[in-house]
Amino acid sequence: MNRLQRAAVLLELTDRLSAGGSWCGETHIQKATYFLQELAKVPSNFDFILYKHGPFSFELRDELTAMRADGFLELRLKPPYGPSLVTTEIGQELKAEHPRTLDKHRRAIRFVAEQLATRNVSELERLATALFVTLDGAPRSAEERAEEIKDLKPHIDLESAEAAVGEVEEMMGAARAL
Amino acid sequence: MHRLLLDRARTENEDKRVSAQQASQLPGGKFSTDINAHLQMTDNEVMCALLEASRNSGISEHDAAKRIVSREHFRVLYERNPTDVERNSEAGKQIFEAAIARFGKENVRRDSYTQRSGAFDFPVHLKDHRTASSLLISETLRKIPVVAVDYVYIIPEKRDEALKWLEENRTKLLERKEKET
């Protein structure tokens, strides 16, 4: 994907998340893009690292800023949380100019949005960290992965970590059919 | 404030050009990590190297050094314009590529920079012990634009011709190429 194709995919993901009820702040888009890339295998080619609140890509943050500079996205403020990212009219035009790319990845984008749109940032952190731990390194049992999540993120209790690992496994199963 | 940021980005781009010339004069292309050796590299050494390269056509950076020393540096052909970006976010890139095709790779340069990091959004603890986004509290933070600069440069010898060419072909050059429809 070139830069504009990738931007069109990010805009479609933003719109789908928003339509599904997501707050659509940067954290929501970061985690959803991580799932889109690593679970649904859409080749967006961002480097993600395990950061303070789960997988995070500095490249993606820079790209979202660049997309604001180019007028594809804008910040919209609505209390009580931080700003939401909203696709602009120019962003919609960009999407309309990339129908083939969007058709190719539409199912994956819809799948990820359906799975994540209603999640809050705490849930997204748990799920994205569970996916990161699952994909990182040698295969381990669900219990081992839950323990690792608890070690990495002590504020996540073991029960929530186990639930997140279970949910991610279900999502991985469903994503295979894409 | 935005103008200040733009000027700073432009100065950084000038610095980059001098640095590129300078790097070729350094052992291994890098400054020494030895503190004493590093401190011995003063403006005088840099100016000497620049002058030497500008006078000796056998040195690989002769052309760049000569342009800096004799103020024959590349001149602005195109700078990012919000109206153009609205039509085509890749305006600078397309004009750069078209200018290379028209005037030759060695005669055209581009400096492009878009601000990294996100919005100035952080939680603010209010007097009533509630928390709110800094962007909701501060109108000033809300109004800070994203810094984005994009310049295409041309050698001074071809500047007039290039400006005329750009003026005549601007509309066509700004058409977005990378679309699938």
Contacts of B148 in chain A (CB under 8 A): 66, 69-70
Asked if residue B20 has pLDDT above 80, the reply is no
Contacts of B86 in chain A (CB under 8 A): 71, 90
The answer to whether the CB atoms of A97 and B180 lie below 8 A apart is yes
Confidence band of B25 (pLDDT split at 50, 70, 90)? low
pLDDT digits (tens, 9 = 90+) for B40-66: 889 998 899 899 999 999 988 899 899
A56 closest CA partner among A122, A158, A132 = A132
CB A112 within 8 A of CB A39: yes
CA distance B85 to chain A (A): 6
pLDDT at B32: 86
pLDDT at B30: 84
CB A172 within 8 A of CB A112: no
B122 closest CA partner among A160, A1, A81 = A81
Contacts of B85 in chain A (CB under 8 A): 69-71
Looking at per-residue pLDDT, the higher value among A173 and B19 belongs to A173
pLDDT at B5: 46
- Calculate the dihedral angle through the C-alpha atoms of A161, A163, A168, A174, rounding to the nearest 10 degrees: 180
pLDDT digits (tens, 9 = 90+) for A124-151: 999 999 999 999 988 889 999 999 999 9
Query: Per DSSP, what are the bridge partners of residue B153?
Result: B76, B109
The answer to whether the CB atoms of A69 and B179 lie below 8 A apart is no
CB B78 within 8 A of CB B160: no
Query: For residue B57, which amino acid is it?
Result: S
Query: For residue B83, which amino acid is it?
Result: T
Query: Per DSSP, what are the bridge partners of residue B131?
Result: B125
Asked if residue B172 has pLDDT above 90, the reply is yes
Determine the average pLDDT of the residues in A47-68. 95
The answer to whether the CB atoms of A70 and B85 lie below 8 A apart is yes
B133 touches chain A (CB under 8 A): yes
pLDDT digits (tens, 9 = 90+) for A5-21: 999 999 999 999 999 99
Q: Which of B114, B132, B136 sits opposite A66 (nearest CB)?
A: B114
Contacts of A89 in chain B (CB under 8 A): none
Q: CA of B85: which chain A residue's CA is closest?
A: A70
Which residue shows structure tokens 């291994």? B28
ipTM > 0.90?
no
Is the dihedral angle over the CA atoms A34, A62, A46, A139 positive or is it negative?
negative
The answer to whether the CB atoms of A77 and B135 lie below 8 A apart is yes
Contacts of B142 in chain A (CB under 8 A): 77
Both tokens of A104, joined, read 């190719």
pLDDT at B24: 59
pLDDT digits (tens, 9 = 90+) for B142-152: 888 899 999 99
Q: Which of B90, B118, B135 sits opposite A61 (nearest CB)?
A: B118
pLDDT at A78: 84
B140 touches chain A (CB under 8 A): no
Whether the link from the prior residue into A80 is cis, omega within 30° of 0, is yes
B178 closest CA partner among A160, A106, A88, A7 = A7
Q: What are phi and psi of A49, to 5 degrees?
A: -120, 160
Q: Which of B90, B118, B179 sits opposite A98 (nearest CB)?
A: B179
Q: CA of B148: which chain A residue's CA is closest?
A: A69
Both tokens of A71, joined, read 């007028």
Q: B68: how many CB neighbours lie within 10 A of its CB?
A: 19
CB B148 within 8 A of CB A66: yes
Determine the average pLDDT of the residues in A38-66. 95
B26 touches chain A (CB under 8 A): no
pLDDT at A13: 98
Beta strands in chain B (DSSP E): 75-79, 108-114, 123-125, 131-133, 148-154
B114 touches chain A (CB under 8 A): yes
CA distance A157 to A164: 11
Both tokens of A139, joined, read 């295969």
pTM of the model: 0.83
Looking at per-residue pLDDT, the higher value among A108 and B21 belongs to A108
Q: CA of A90: which chain B residue's CA is closest?
A: B86
| SS3 call for B85 | helix
Whether the link from the prior residue into A99 is cis, omega within 30° of 0, is no
Query: For residue A41, which amino acid is it?
Result: K
> How close are the terminal C-alpha atoms of chain B, in Å?
40
Q: Which of B121, B148, B176 sits opposite A82 (nearest CB)?
A: B121
